């Protein structure tokens, strides 16, 4: 599967854009195990990746 621009942005956001506190809050809000905050993007569940993608899409100023 090819990485789209959104996938790349999402991976960067998870790996470098969120603090551990922000990850913990996001995980709690969406009822995921808090241990995922220690995981690299490649190892988090697809459901969580989808939430991150939606979050990025909602905040993308290039979308009209």
pLDDT of residue 4: 87
**In which residue are the tokens 């551990």 written?**
20
Note whether residue 48 is domain-resident.
yes
Q: Could you give the number of structural domains in the chain?
A: 1
Contacts of 3 (CB under 8 A, 6+ apart): 11
Question: Do 54 and 30 form a contact (C-beta atoms < 8 A)?
Answer: no
Say whether pTM exceeds 0.85. Answer: no
Reported confidence tier of residue 63, pLDDT bands at 50, 70, 90: low
The predicted structure's pLDDT at residue 64: 45
Q: Is residue 49 part of a domain?
A: yes
- In angstroms, the CA 63 to CA 2 distance is 22
Answer yes or no: are the C-beta atoms of 49 and 32 closer than 8 Å: no
27 located within any domain: yes
Identify the domain containing residue 34 by its residue range: 5-58
- Overall average pLDDT of the 58-62 stretch: 71
| pLDDT at 26 > cutoff 80 | yes
- The verdict on residue 63 lying in a domain is no
List Cβ neighbours of 57 (8 Å cut-off, separation of 6 or more): 6, 63
């Amino acid at each position: 599967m090819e990485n789209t621009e959104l996938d790349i942005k999402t991976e960067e956001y998870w790996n470098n854009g969120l603090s551990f506190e922000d990850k913990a809050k996001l995980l709690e809000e969406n009822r995921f195990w808090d241990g995922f905050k220690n995981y690299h993007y490649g190892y988090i569940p697809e459901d969580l990746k989808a939430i991150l993608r939606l979050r990025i899409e909602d905040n993308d100023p290039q979308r009209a």
